[in-house]
Amino acid sequence: MNVCATKPFKAQLAEITKKEKKPLVFIVDELDRCKPEFAIRLIERIKHFFDIPKVVFILAVNKNQLEESINNFYGFSSTANYLEKFIDFSVMLKNKDLDGSRYAEILNNYNKDYQLDLQRNELHTFIALCKTYSPNPRQLVKIINKFSLLKYDLNETQKVFLFIFLIYSELRLITSFTDTEFSTHFYNHHKNVFHKFNFNSTNSPAEKRASFFQFLTNDIYSKNSNTNIFAYLSAYIEYQNLSPAESINSKYRHYKDCKNHYYPTENQSNDLMDEWYKYVHMIEG
C-alpha cells in the first residue's frame, strides 16, 4: 500500500474520532478463513491506521489456525509468532465444546438424518478428531456434507482418512497435499496435544515417542482397547517421523506399508494425500 495514499483517509479518521468520546472500532471477522496471502496483505494494510488516536481494530479469528496457516504457506517456523507484530493484546474466548458435546450432537444428528451409516466407533473417532482440530460448527457441517457425498464404497479405515482429509482441506492446515507435509503437521499437532496432557520430561526420546503413539491410538481415537481403527495410520505417521537409522530397523520396516489401508482406490503407488486430493476433486467435479 502506498503510504502517501493513506494520508487523506487517516486525516479524515482522525477528524472523526477527535469529535467522539468513544473509540471508533473496526471488527475484522473470520480472517482465519481467508487465504494466508490475503490475510497478511490485509493486516499489513490496516497497520497503517494503528497510530490514529481512538481507532481500534479487533481481529475476530482463530489465532492458532491463522498463524499455522501463515507459517505453512510462507515456510515460517512454528515459533515465528508472526501475528504478535500486529496484535497488542489477545482475549481468549472460552471454547464451549471442550467435552465434545456440540460436535457429538451435530454428528449424531447428521448420522441419523443424512444416513451417514457411521458406527459407534467411527462416531467416537470423528468426535475426537473434531475436539483435536476444533472446526467451528459451520466448518463441520461443510465437512459432513462432503463426507456424505464421498463416503460410498469406502471401508471403515478409508472413511476415517476421508474425514481427516476433509478437515485438513476445510481448515486449510497445509498448503500442499503431500504425504510429507501431512504427516509432519499431523505429528506436530498431536504432539502438542500430548504434551499438554501426558508429557514426562524424564523419559528418553524413544520412550517419549512410544508413549506418544500409545496415547494417540489408545487414549484419543479408540473407544476401548479392542477397537482401534486408527492403528495403521498411527504406525505410518510414526514411520514417517523416524530417523534414517531407525527406519531401516526391522521392527519398523513394515510400518511404511500401513498407509496402504487408507488409499481411496487400488492405486497405491502414488502419494497418499495426492491420491485423496484427486479422488475428492474428481467426485466433486
* Residues 72-95: tens digit of each pLDDT: 777 776 655 777 778 887 777 665
**Cβ-contact 246, 237 below 8 angstroms:** no
Answer whether residue 278 shows pLDDT above 70: yes
Averaged pLDDT for residues 54-76: 80
Answer whether residue 227 shows pLDDT above 50: no
Check residue 178 and give its pLDDT: 93
Averaged pLDDT for residues 26-30: 88
C-alpha cell at 262: 487408507
Answer whether residue 284 shows pLDDT above 70: no
Report the phi/psi class of residue 282: left, alpha or beta, with left for phi > 0 and alpha for psi in -120 to 50: alpha
Check residue 274 and give its pLDDT: 93
Q: How many Å apart are CA 166 and CA 134, to the nearest integer?
A: 13
Provide the 8-state DSSP code for 224: B
Answer whether residue 140 shows pLDDT above 90: yes
pTM: 0.68
Q: How many Å apart are CA 259 and CA 268, to the nearest integer?
A: 9
Check residue 78 and give its pLDDT: 60
Residue linked to cell 460436535: 103
Averaged pLDDT for residues 131-146: 91
Lowest-confidence segment of 115-129, 189-203, 229-243, 255-269 by average pLDDT: 189-203
Check residue 226 and give its pLDDT: 43
Lowest-confidence segment of 27-36, 129-138, 162-171, 213-222 by average pLDDT: 213-222
* Residues 6-22: tens digit of each pLDDT: 788 888 888 888 888 88
* Number of Cα atoms under 13 Å in the Cβ half of residue 96: 3
**Cβ-contact 228, 217 below 8 angstroms:** yes
* Residues 166-199: tens digit of each pLDDT: 999 999 889 889 999 999 898 888 887 777 665 5
Answer whether residue 146 shows pLDDT above 90: yes
Q: How many Å apart are CA 106 and CA 144, to the nearest integer?
A: 9
Write down the domain spans for the chain.
Answer: 3-85, 96-285
Averaged pLDDT for residues 252-262: 80
Phi first, then psi: give them for residue 90, nearest 5 degrees: -120, 145
Q: How many Å apart are CA 47 and CA 4, to the nearest integer?
A: 14
49 vs 16, 171, 226, CA distance in Å? 13, 29, 58
Answer whether residue 112 shows pLDDT above 80: yes
Check residue 18 and give its pLDDT: 86
- DSSP readout, 39-108? HHHHHHHHGGGTTSTTEEEEEES-HHHHHHHHHHHHT--TT--GGGGT-S---PPPPTTTTSHHHHHHHH
Residue linked to cell 479422488: 279
Give the percent of the chain with pLDDT over 90. Answer: 19
Question: Which neighbouring-strand residues pair with 55?
Answer: 24
Collapsed DSSP state (helix, strand, coil) of residue 26: strand
- Greater confidence, 167 or 214? 167
282 vs 75, 170, 276, 277, 279, CA distance in Å? 29, 17, 10, 8, 5
Q: How many Å apart are CA 7 and CA 168, to the nearest integer?
A: 41
Check residue 279 and give its pLDDT: 92
- Greater confidence, 233 or 253? 233
Q: How many Å apart are CA 280 and CA 161, to the nearest integer?
A: 12
Averaged pLDDT for residues 119-130: 88
